[in-house]
Structure 1
Amino acid sequence: MIQQYTKKDSISKLIFLFSGLLFLKLLVFHYFIGVKSNLIIISILNGLTVMAILFLASLIKKTDMFKIFIIINCFISIVFIFNSLYYKHFTTLLPVHIIYQINHVGGVGDSIWAILQPYHILFLVDIAPLVWYYNRIYKKSKRLMVKPMKASKVFMLVLFLAFTSGVGHFIINNADDAIRTPHNLGMINYHIYDLSRVFSDKTIPAGFASIAEEVIVEEEEEVEKNKYNGLIAGKNIIVVQAESFQNFVINKEVNGQQITPVLNQLIKNDSIYFSNYYEQVGWGNTSDAEFVSHTGFLPSTKNYSYKSYEGKTLITLPNLLKKKGYNTIVFHGNEPDFWNRKNMYPYMGFDTFISSEELEEEEIIGMGLSYKSLFKQGIPYLKSIDQPFYSLFITLTSHYPYIMEDKYKSLTLNSDYKDTILGNYFQTVNYLDSAIGQLIEDLKNEGLYYNSVIIVYGDHHGLKMQDEEATELLEVFLNAEYREDDMLRVPFLIHVPGSNINCEITTTGGMVDFFPTIANLLGISIENSYYIGKDLLNNNNGFATTFIHTAKGSFIEDDKVFLMSRDGVFENSRGWNKDTDEEIDLQEFKLGHERALAEIYLSQYILENQLLPLKEQLDILKILKEMGLCIN
């Protein structure tokens, strides 16, 4: 077959050959990521884009085009593989800004190998036959230098193909302001769209206009104002951001053993526990958890936040505490440049950053320094700085794929869980729990415990719904379906020694609520114009925007969950009651969907344009009007 496409030295026939091969891969890939609506059409439109790329490549003069097309085919096939791996972990495609993280790939090597499967290599199945044909037959036929097509003809073809692809997407997506996703653009065209966003200043999409003022402004309720205000004023704050720590393990047992006995006990004594708290990370995962928690704004949708907002003037919890006489310090057992932390922490308000460069690598588990070693080495630093202080420990041990040596494991697991992804997760979380217990004992021994507040929250989920093995085991363990709200729920615990408080807050919240909630406890008066989040101790309107791991526009409330369809079509979305699992009419979610989008877009607009502090209370409608985006 190959020979018939090359015997007349026709570039156009070569282009059709390689476009056809890549079209087949597009079909397979789009099916793999779950493109359901318009699978064939979306693949064809992406195939047209591939064809345009090959036509542009044909402009290279006096070049062996067959060889060039093999290289392009190989490159795109490798992109298929990387996208498959990335999608498996993040349910989206590789973002353009991943280039900023290339230097850190080695740090997550174990995670990549754990995801890689033999079937991923099938995207390269045609490369060997093409290379064999090229070396054995094509080169000997002396048809290496194919006369290039006229540039004018190529440009006309490229414009036609690009126009056809663009118009096709516009038609199937019904509007110019539709939410763009890999599921409605396809792989190739989504990457082009993502690349275009890097050079675009537009944060809020055109047409996002008709949002009612009430999308974020909460309805006034008769709630007790300033509840717990100043409870922890003047105390030291010790925050543990726990890697991949999900809420479902709290107060649970496996084979008759508590998974988190220390935290279970803390929840019952001198603590405020938020049982419906959700991750809100973006491209930066762990680093975004830090960013969102300490700014009260959602992360960037263009890049990881510590890159997007480097150099920006920020109002953060550590910055406000410094004005109150607090010292601020952060600990992380990894490289200081990972996620651009070294450059970003001064803007976040952290005076001191203790990383792997200052810490002794005495006990390495997984990606870096173990929980226990990090806490142990952090205590002398806390003793040496003036009080009060605000400290943040960023942990690593329970990072995917949750591999630990047996000597660190304390749980006895039966054959149902032993050496499974879920069993390994239980062991790492149990190790975290033990490390927190040891940290508390060390604080007591050093005289720091009773004048300190210990805060623990999970940075993001660890067990993904896409992992069939983990999901199957989890649903047996939970005796319930493992859904998105289960996956995204993380613990949030505030332990105040000697407070005699034993309180569970069931109001739904997310990481944007950390800043205003802790500020209230510290007795720091902050205006609503400083953040998008809410004080969970003085608010009964639960709401948490979710994205990246769900489609943009999804959200969770106290009694229901809304998942925006990944094809960007509202009518294809799902919504259900959290307690009964019953499906709910989608129209009941329309306002919440618009609010979720508003929080995402305005977080980015405000931070990118350094509008903080806002001159008045955050008014979504007014800001959109000033931008000329509201239609009345």
Structure 2
Amino acid sequence: MKKENFNIKKILNNRIGFFALALILFWAKTYIAYRTKFSLGVSGMMQHFLLLMNPISFALFLFGITFFSKGKKSYIMLLVIDLILTIWLFANIVYYREFSDFLTVNMIKSAGSVSANMDSSALSLMVPSDFFVFLDVIVLTGLLLFKVIKIDPTGLKKRYGFLTLAVAMTLFAANLGLAEMDRSGLLTRTFDRNYIVKYLGLNAFTVYDGVQTAQANAKRANADSSDMDEVLAYTQQNYAAPNPDYYGVAKGKNVIIIHLESFQQFLFDYKVDGQEVTPTLNQFYHDSQTMSFDNFFHQVGQGKTADAEMMLDNSLYGLSQGSAMVQVGTDNTYQAAPAILAQQGGYTSASFHGDVGSFWNRNNAYKSWGYDYFFDAQYYSENEAYKLGYGLKDKIFLKESAQYLEQLQQPFYAKLITVTNHYPYPLDEANAAFPKTTTGDSTVDGYVQTAHYLDQSINELMTYLKASGLYDNSVILMYGDHYGISGNHGEAVSQLLGTEEYNDYDDAMFQKVPLMIHMPGLKGGINHTFGGEIDVLPTLMHLLGMDNKEYVHFGSDLLSPEHQGLVAFRNGNFVAKDYTKVGSKVYDTATGTLIEHLTEEQKAQIEKEKEQVEKELSLSDQVQISDLLRYYTPSGFTPVDKSQYNYTYRFGMDLLKETSEELGDQSTSLLDQNKGQSTVEKYQTDAPELKE
């Protein structure tokens, strides 16, 4: 035993041995912190493996820098680096506890404006176990101070330092490669900061965030107010005056937006084994009081759902790479639907989503948009049986949303984001009340099951809205955010649609998603106008009696006779009434026929539309990347003060209660109008999880 102890001590008295001890301790505490202090949503063997391994490469690189110093100096450098990384880890642990998010460069930069209130709040968020992350630094320092371990005065050859850095970079490259295998487009699409930390580590996320911030800041720094001139000229030219038959018909009505996750147009009236996949939505689509659009397309890029929300609430496109909500949503200036409706119509605004608030950076972007409330996962039941994929199952989510919906002051603008009909379309046996299709493609065949489940969920919500009385005073807008089945499954799609082939034109038409606007008394019908998600906000504003002429909107009113009907896709392709352009191919939109020899007139029209699409996308990108709306404020609009919004559960519940109490008899919430009698019991669901 003595000999063994002597050998261990001898190893630790060696500089490389002490380095190895510091690395192992840092790796262990970081991994423990990941598992116990953060909710990263780790699942599957690959994700667990990456979470275990990702602290090593970054620490190895930074610790390896000390190999270029000698003696006592190298030991001090190692401890200082360890301490700095530890302080950063500790700060994120405390911050995450309250905000379910990680510290960013911009967050640190803005800390000075709230520093007066930070000390007491930060202390209240700390718990004793947080301080365990400092234990290794204390132990290593103590071992050196009390000379249990002696400093090795001998220097190391520089090749050891370079070798260590090379190994660190190789490990990181392997880590990144495996991460990309498990989550394609991890760094380009940037789903969620949790994802970056889960796959690459907290320190790698910090570097990534720093690079993104520097790039964005450089573009912002070079921008000035004159950059808005071309943008304003284009949007004014693109403006479509409202249709007098529809302008203001929904004035003062509640707006209830139902986000139909991954729902595609072809599902309407679609049958499997003689059964309608979506009977409720079919009826809603064909209702005489529903304005339904059958040539409405999603226009999302890599941001998928986030891009759809960006267009819906702002009439701005997502970015060509990544998600605008994530990359610039926190810091940019916006003039979004929640703020516009609040200022022009006294609307209360709320978004409902049964997943963590940090997903797609909603908890920050929504503040920039002026949402009064954001009811995310912290407002809903924690039962794991209620969750599937990207959050709460739709039936449970919509039922539990009723308790908050009835407390909102009317009129309100409420967006309910469903998630169960999301790739890869898993559904537990208890909820799978519909047969799968039989294309043989496992990704495609479950799609109709989750779509049917979504349809059942919508039926329950609509029944509640009618029973509670909200239906009579609301305009209900349903839209699909993006495709559910990608063009990579062309053979299976051909089977679904009963076609012989699936070409580029078919794929372009397959990007149709629903847009349905319903209101008691509305003159509805199937509208064949070509449009996309970029057009929703101008259309809605005109229905509410609010003109959008002075706003920077890249879409236009779908009901206006002046609406152009040119649908731009994020990759530069487009669909219009006459022609559809996919890459270098041009199709007749009405027939799907490939036009192999364009006439000069056709060439001129295609070129004109192509240039307009490119200009529109480019100008929208300039607005987003350079934060150009900070240089322009529409007449009568007050810029959003992001500091006024807080989406934590405690604050949100207090705000609902305090608003009701302050208004007293003047409160317009459904709950107060019913003299405190809740309508939640009127919400009926057959969700098997709740029966159990």
Give the TM-score, by structure 1 length: 0.63
Corresponding residue to 1:350 among 346, 350, 371: 371
Q: Within 5 Å, which residues of 2 pair with 1:261-300? A: 261-269=279-287, 270-300=289-319
Question: Corresponding residue for 1:513?
Answer: 535
CA distance in structure 2 between the aligned counterparts of 1:219 and 1:316, rounded to whole angstroms: 18
CA distance in structure 1 between the aligned counterparts of 2:366 and 2:238, rounded to whole angstroms: 36
- In structure 2, relative to structure 1, the CA distance for the partners of 1:534 and 1:237 (3 Å cut) is same
Is contact 1:280–1:545 with CA below 8 Å preserved after alignment? Answer: yes
Is contact 2:254–2:410 with CA below 8 Å preserved after alignment? Answer: yes
Is contact 1:450–1:498 with CA below 8 Å preserved after alignment? Answer: no
- In structure 2, relative to structure 1, the CA distance for the partners of 1:533 and 1:475 (3 Å cut) is same
Question: Corresponding residue for 2:590?
Answer: 579
Q: CA deviation at 1:67?
A: 8.0
Question: Corresponding residue for 1:563?
Answer: 582
Corresponding residue to 2:555 among 519, 525, 533: 533
Q: CA deviation at 1:587?
A: 5.7
CA distance in structure 2 between the aligned counterparts of 1:454 and 1:465, rounded to whole angstroms: 31
Stretch moving more, 67-76 or 343-352: 67-76
Corresponding residue to 1:328 among 333, 340, 349: 349
CA distance in structure 2 between the aligned counterparts of 1:614 and 1:435, rounded to whole angstroms: 40
State whether structure 2 residue 452 is matched by structure 1 residue 430. yes
Structure whose residues are more often helix by fraction: 2
- In structure 2, relative to structure 1, the CA distance for the partners of 1:213 and 1:589 (3 Å cut) is farther
State whether structure 2 residue 400 is matched by structure 1 residue 381. no
The AA in structure 1 aligned to 2:330 is E
State whether structure 2 residue 334 is matched by structure 1 residue 338. no
Q: CA deviation at 1:321?
A: 1.3
- In structure 2, relative to structure 1, the CA distance for the partners of 1:409 and 1:203 (3 Å cut) is farther
The AA in structure 1 aligned to 2:362 is R
Is contact 2:286–2:526 with CA below 8 Å preserved after alignment? Answer: no
Q: CA deviation at 1:491?
A: 0.7
Q: CA deviation at 1:105?
A: 6.6
Q: CA deviation at 1:383?
A: 1.5
Corresponding residue to 2:607 among 590, 607, 611: 590
Q: Within 5 Å, which residues of 2 pair with 1:188-203? A: 200-201=218-219
The AA in structure 2 aligned to 1:561 is T
State whether structure 2 residue 265 is matched by structure 1 residue 259. no
Question: Corresponding residue for 2:84?
Answer: none
Is contact 1:327–1:388 with CA below 8 Å preserved after alignment? Answer: yes
Larger radius of gyration: 2
CA distance in structure 2 between the aligned counterparts of 1:390 and 1:559, rounded to whole angstroms: 36
Question: Corresponding residue for 1:104?
Answer: 195
Q: CA deviation at 1:488?
A: 2.3
Q: Within 5 Å, which residues of 2 pair with 1:440-451? A: 440-451=462-473
The AA in structure 2 aligned to 1:263 is L
* Runs (5+) with no aligned partner, structure 1: 1-56, 88-92, 109-192, 565-572, 617-632
CA distance in structure 1 between the aligned counterparts of 2:295 and 2:453, rounded to whole angstroms: 23
CA distance in structure 1 between the aligned counterparts of 2:373 and 2:213, rounded to whole angstroms: 36
State whether structure 2 residue 508 is matched by structure 1 residue 485. yes
Q: Within 5 Å, which residues of 2 pair with 1:143-182? A: none
State whether structure 2 residue 525 is matched by structure 1 residue 503. yes
Is contact 1:271–1:503 with CA below 8 Å preserved after alignment? Answer: yes
Question: Corresponding residue for 1:314?
Answer: 334
* Runs (5+) with no aligned partner, structure 2: 1-64, 69-156, 200-210, 636-692
Is contact 1:370–1:396 with CA below 8 Å preserved after alignment? Answer: yes
Is contact 1:248–1:486 with CA below 8 Å preserved after alignment? Answer: no
CA distance in structure 2 between the aligned counterparts of 1:220 and 1:376, rounded to whole angstroms: 39
Question: Corresponding residue for 1:545?
Answer: 568
Is contact 1:273–1:503 with CA below 8 Å preserved after alignment? Answer: yes
Which string of whole-angstrom CA distances, capped at 9 and with x for unpartnered residues, describes residues 456-475 of structure 1?
A: 11111121112xxx321211
Question: Corresponding residue for 1:152?
Answer: none
CA distance in structure 2 between the aligned counterparts of 1:212 and 1:602, rounded to whole angstroms: 6
SS of the residue aligned with 2:219? coil
- In structure 2, relative to structure 1, the CA distance for the partners of 1:447 and 1:534 (3 Å cut) is same
Q: CA deviation at 1:487?
A: 3.7
CA distance in structure 1 between the aligned counterparts of 2:262 and 2:165, rounded to whole angstroms: 43
State whether structure 2 residue 252 is matched by structure 1 residue 234. yes
SS of the residue aligned with 1:238? strand
Q: CA deviation at 1:248?
A: 1.3
Is contact 2:242–2:559 with CA below 8 Å preserved after alignment? Answer: no
Question: Corresponding residue for 1:17?
Answer: none
The AA in structure 1 aligned to 2:582 is L
The AA in structure 2 aligned to 1:434 is Q
SS of the residue aligned with 2:309? helix
CA distance in structure 1 between the aligned counterparts of 2:317 and 2:222, rounded to whole angstroms: 14
Which string of whole-angstrom CA distances, capped at 9 and with x for unpartnered residues, describes residues 84-123 of structure 1?
A: 6666xxxxx554573x834137999xxxxxxxxxxxxxxx
Q: CA deviation at 1:413?
A: 4.0
Is contact 2:242–2:542 with CA below 8 Å preserved after alignment? Answer: no
Is contact 2:232–2:552 with CA below 8 Å preserved after alignment? Answer: no
SS of the residue aligned with 1:525? coil
Q: Within 5 Å, which residues of 2 pair with 1:110-121? A: none
Is contact 1:239–1:456 with CA below 8 Å preserved after alignment? Answer: yes
CA distance in structure 2 between the aligned counterparts of 1:327 and 1:378, rounded to whole angstroms: 16
CA distance in structure 2 between the aligned counterparts of 1:106 and 1:479, rounded to whole angstroms: 44
The AA in structure 2 aligned to 1:526 is N
Which string of whole-angstrom CA distances, capped at 9 and with x for unpartnered residues, describes residues 432-452 of structure 1?
A: 111111101111121211111
Question: Corresponding residue for 1:126?
Answer: none
